[in-house]
Structures are given as structure tokens and as C-alpha cells.
Amino acid sequence: MIIVWLSIENFRNHRSTKLSLDAERTLVVGPNGHGKTNLLEAVALLDGSGSFRGASAETLVRAGCDRAFVRAEVRRARRTHLVEIEIAVAGKSRAQVNGQRIRSLRDLAEVVSAVVFCPADLSIAAGGPSVRRELLDNVLTGTDREYRTMRLDFERVLRQRNNLLKQAGHRPDDEAFTTLDVWDAQLADVGEAIAQRRDALCTALVSPAQDAYCQLAGGAANLRLSYAAEWRDSSLATALAQARSVDLRRGTTTVGPHRDDMTICLDGLPARTHASQGEQRSIALALRLAQHRYTAQISGTEPIVLLDDVFSELDEGRAQRLIGCLPAAQTVVTSATGHVPPGIEARSQIHIDDGEVVSR
């Protein structure tokens, strides 16, 4: 799979940017703060997973505008697709493929897949559970259509349950308890299914992540991943029943997949608390490489690789070992200096200045 050309309008600081991407490697150069990462963000949006920077629609749209557009021609499995996304400040963003409206942005994963490597990935090993849950969900929503439906169902039921908890407060009546029983049953069903998929994914990622970590570290190590959900010792239905009084007092659901974690251990110790920053960085890179390998195996196509100023954060040895691990996929690399380590030289170079392409 490759992106042939990209067009973005009123996106971040880009008023109107149109460019072609090399089928192998494209280097995007420019001063910090001038729009290199914004360009990669637009490419990453094409797979429907949202902003890898966690940005809202309002912040994606250029100041003073009410909507932004991201368009691209994508070649996948010998077919060409026109992907178009309309990002609205107010209202719902929309997308279409070959002129046909799609039900959900997440369904863009059927056409485009991308894996982003960025300095913020350090939080995969060092940050809170939400970062690791997001990684698991992004991989699954990009490869499993049924999981995308599960996630939508779970979010809907969780929202309804939380609204009821807030309304009922400290004095729920019989009607509130009856309705809560309904939401609990639905939440337990879909929550159990989500946890099973995530657990299976953790198991599938262990081997490729272990291999990648050893290559990046330049030596033997034992990297292990496991899905952490205390409620799974019994069932989610039981856990929800036991937590009901607490949930009513707090006005929110305190147990379930939205609170779970992926535990990462290096040589038998929790990476979050015991790994050095260099080890945590290698773990994050290894997980991204494992994500790429897994997605390629399941989808049958190589996801695009987006490297956002990654090499500036790595020592020379680790940078060279990362280059040796990168898959043979279309790759877009950003650099403030224009210099990248040997082995990842690009055939095409694009210079960005204040949100505009000034040279190619």
C-alpha cells in the first residue's frame, strides 16, 4: 500500500499543501514549528484512528476556518482509492472513499493503515494505562471490523451508564436500579469481548516485540506483555455489581476495559518503574515495530511508516539498529536539520516553511 499524492487544506498551519510521496522514502525538512509534524498528522488521519497527538477537530482546523480537508490517492492491492476527509470545527467530521460516504471514520482502516513513530511514544512504557490501551485499540480497530463495532457499542453503553449514575446520585430509586441492571448486563457482555480481543493481541505482540527489542538493544533481553484487568479473576458482571455503590457515589464507572492496562515487563521487572529511559524508548520502538508486523500479517498489506523526528532522540547505535529493523514499506521521515543516519536516505525531499512547500 502506498499514498501516491496528498492534499491538505486549512489543516493546522497549512493553508493549501499538495505533494507527491515517493513510493519508498520521502524526507520532510523544515524548521521546528513550521508544519512538518502537521503534515505527518494529516497522513496518519487517513487510517481513521484520529490524531496521534490527541488533538480535537477544533485544533486541527486552521485558525479562522470552519473546516479542513485531507485528500489522498491510495494504491492498495492493485486498486486505486480516493480518500477524502472533512474535519469540521462544529458538527461531525465526515469521510468518503471513491465518492461514497462511509459510516465511521474508523472504517477508513479498510483502505489505509499507518504506524507512527514519534518522541511522545516514550509514554508507552513510562506513561499511564490510557496510552497502552490506546495502542491496543488502534491496532485492533485497524485490523478487526468486528472490534470497531464492539468499541462503538461499549462507548455508547458506558456513556449511558455514566449518565444514569450521575442522575441517580446518592438516592437512586427502583427505576434507576432496574435501568442500571440493563446497562450492566450490556456493558458486561461487550466489555468481556473487548478484553478477550485485547488479551489475545498482547499474546500475539510478545514475540515480534521481543525480537525487535533485542535487535534495538543490541543484546539479549526478556520483554513480556500481559493484559491487566483485575476484574477478570471473576467476571465483569460480578465486578460491576460489587462496585455499584462506589460508582453511584462517584457518578462514574470505575471498573471495566476503559480502566484496564497492558503490563510491560523487562527482565522480570515492570518497565514503567524499573526500566531506564533508554530502555523505555527501545520498548516503545519495539512495540511500534510489532504493531507494524502484526497489522501487515492480518491486513495483507504493509502499513505506511511515519517517523516524526525520531532519530534526534536516539544515540547513533540505537538509530542504526532501528534503521535495520524498519520494514520495507513506504516511509515518510521528518527532520529539522535535513540530516538522517546512513541507511535511510530518501529519494525525495520536501522542504516545509511556515506551512508551505517551498522546494522539492
pLDDT tens for each residue of the chain, 360 residues long: 999 999 999 999 999 999 999 999 999 999 999 999 999 999 999 999 999 999 999 999 999 999 999 999 999 988 999 999 999 998 899 999 999 999 999 999 999 999 999 999 999 999 999 999 999 999 999 999 999 999 999 999 999 999 999 998 878 889 999 999 999 999 999 999 999 999 999 999 999 999 999 999 999 999 999 999 999 999 999 999 999 999 999 999 999 999 999 999 999 999 999 999 999 999 999 999 999 999 999 999 999 999 999 998 888 899 999 999 999 999 999 998 888 888 888 889 999 999 998 866
Exposure class string for 129-143: b at 16+ Cβ within 10 A, else e: eebbbbbbbbbbbbb
Q: Report helix, strand or coil for 23.
A: coil
In angstroms, the CA 356 to CA 15 distance is 8
Q: Mention every residue, 6+ apart, whose C-beta is less than 8 A from residue 249.
A: 170
Residue 336 maps to a domain: yes
Q: What is the CATH number of the domain that holds 2?
A: 3.40.50.300
Structural domain span for residue 103:
1-113+302-360
Residue 225 maps to a domain: no
Residue 338 maps to a domain: yes
Say how many domains are in the chain.
1
Residue 252 maps to a domain: no
Residue 31 maps to a domain: yes
Residue 73 maps to a domain: yes
Tally of CB atoms within 10 A around 101:
9
CA gyration radius, the chain = 22
Query: Which of 59, 12, 8, 6 has its CA nearest to residue 35?
Result: 12
pTM of the full predicted structure? 0.94
In angstroms, the CA 282 to CA 21 distance is 28
CA distances from 240 to 87, 129, 134 (A): 37, 20, 23
Residue 27 maps to a domain: yes
Exposure class string for 50-64: b at 16+ Cβ within 10 A, else e: bebbeeebeebbbee
Q: Mention every residue, 6+ apart, whose C-beta is less than 8 A from residue 91.
A: none
Residue 173 maps to a domain: no
